[in-house]
Amino acid sequence: MSTHQPGTLAVHAGHEPDAATGAVAPPIHLATTFRHGPAGERLAGYEYQREGNPTNDRLREALKALEGGEEAMTFASGMAAMSTLLESLPAGARVLFPDDCYTGLRMLFAEFLPERCIVPIEVDMADLDAVRAACAQPLAMLWIETPSNPLLKVCDIAALAALGHAAGAVVVADNTFATPLLQRPLALGADIVMHSTTKYFGGHSDVLGGALVFARNDALAQRVAHRLHVTGGVMAPFSAWLTLRGCRSLGARMAMHCANARAVATFLSTHPRVARVNWPGLPSHPGHAIAARQMRDFGAMLSIQLHGGRDAALAVAGRLRVFTNATSLGGCESLVEHRASVEGAHPRSPQDLLRISVGLEDAGDLVADFAQALG
């Protein structure tokens, strides 16, 4: 199965017919505890849901196949995946992270990880000279997010992996925006891939989850697994089943997401009220060449910056009718949000910026909705 293309793997990996019944659709195992043998042994490899579950194991197999890793772990949320990994680092660890990144990651570095004496170092990952300078001292981890949230910056995964490894770092790539259907960071040199499976893997805005996929089942992977089992931020079986179900349509959905995003981004790039369109599929995007080299397609996330600043951005978001004004991304429905408004008291996103998750509606309707909202 591992020799097949990602779209085929998404349909079949982890979806083998049930051995007991022959059911083509996988069952949900909700049991919290499993019967022991006469000597207290685990009869089928399971003991307690927090330590392992057959439904989660199916999803883990799918994630390993899709990302090309040796080990995978599922979590209750993307934040649980990030925090469990970062809290597995030793005290005093230096971590390089992107200047444009998910707000939750920035909050971990600002509010919680300093309690563990972890030292965050912020850098523009698209600037290899800046990264090289930051790597002059030993690092424990280099964190990549490409395309980034919300400015859709693109960075060279292979080049960053080489720099990080030379500095002694474990290289982690957040692949939430791209999914393994569009980009496979482990094949480009990363050591760990992180996902908020809430987004494109689930695909329907109805299931929370996170995942880590490790290139090697090494000491760090085992340390993270132990922390997950002890601290308990595990994915529930029903969430695993919904996410696994989402995998089966991931290839088809991503193809339509990307086609719709191209139509929307192309229209917005020519509109006089739009000052900037951040989407790596546009030839004018500064990271377009890198994205074309390391991605199969350019994704369905984009952001725009409007002439007129915050007021103009809020007004356009308020006039949209097909796009729903809401946070999150990756669902069937198209979403728009004024990102600075949801980032708390000290937002990093520009006030003139709207982040857009392009969904699965008719592309013409999506373009027409922005046409009427922009006026």
Q: Which of 280, 295, 55, 108 is nearest to 188 (CA)?
A: 295
* Cα–Cα separations (whole angstroms), residue 36 to 2, 42, 46, 47: 34, 5, 9, 7
Annotated catalytic residue: which of 102, 106, 339, 355? 102
Three-class SS string for the chain?
A: CCCCCHHHHHHHCCCCCCCCCCCCCCCCCCCCECCECCCCCECCCCCEHHHCCHHHHHHHHHHHHHHCCCEEEEECCHHHHHHHHHCCCCCCCEEEEECCCCHHHHHHHHHHHHHHCCEEEEECCCCHHHHHHHCCCCCCEEEEECCCCCCCCCCCHHHHHHHHHHCCCEEEEECCCCHHHHCCHHHHCCCEEEECCCCCCCCCCCCCCEEEEECCCCHHHHHHHHHHHHHCCECCHHHHHHHHHHHHCHHHHHHHHHHHHHHHHHHHHCCCCEEEEECCCCCCCCCHHHHHHHCCCCCCEEEEEECCHHHHHHHHHHHCCCCEECCCCCCCCCEEECHHHHCCCCCCCCCCEEEEECCCCCHHHHHHHHHHHHC
Is 174 known to be catalytic?
yes
Q: Are 253 and 296 in contact (CB under 8 A)?
A: no
Annotated catalytic residue: which of 199, 248, 253, 296? 199
Annotated catalytic residue: which of 42, 46, 50, 99? 50
Annotated catalytic residue: which of 64, 153, 156, 174? 174
Q: How many CA atoms lie within 13 A of 103 on its CB side?
A: 14
Q: Which amino acid is at 142?
A: L
Is 64 known to be catalytic?
no
Is 200 known to be catalytic?
no
Long-range CB pairs of 17-26, under 8 A, 24+ apart, other chains included = 26/55, 26/58, 26/241, 26/244
Is 153 known to be catalytic?
no
Catalytic positions: 50, 102, 174, 199
